[in-house]
Amino acid sequence: MWASSLALNHILTVGKGGAWSCHPIEHELSAYYDLTHGQGLAIITPAWMKYVLNSQTEKRFAGYAEKVWGIPKDKFQEMVK
In angstroms, the CA 75 to CA 73 distance is 5
Angstrom distance (rounded) from CA 18 to CA 52: 14
Question: What's the whole-number mean pLDDT along residues 47-75?
Answer: 90
Average pLDDT over all residues of the chain:
85
Report whether pLDDT(33) > 70. Answer: yes
- Its pTM surpasses 0.75: no
Residue 71 confidence (pLDDT)? 92
| Structure confidence at residue 70 (pLDDT) | 94
What's the pLDDT score for residue 31? 92
What is the predicted pLDDT for the residue at 23? Answer: 84
The pLDDT assigned to 12 comes to: 67
- The percentage of residues in the chain with a pLDDT greater than 90, rounded to a whole number, is 35
Residue-range domain boundaries for the chain:
19-80
Q: In terms of Cα–Cα distance, which of 3, 39, 1, 47 is closest to 21?
A: 47
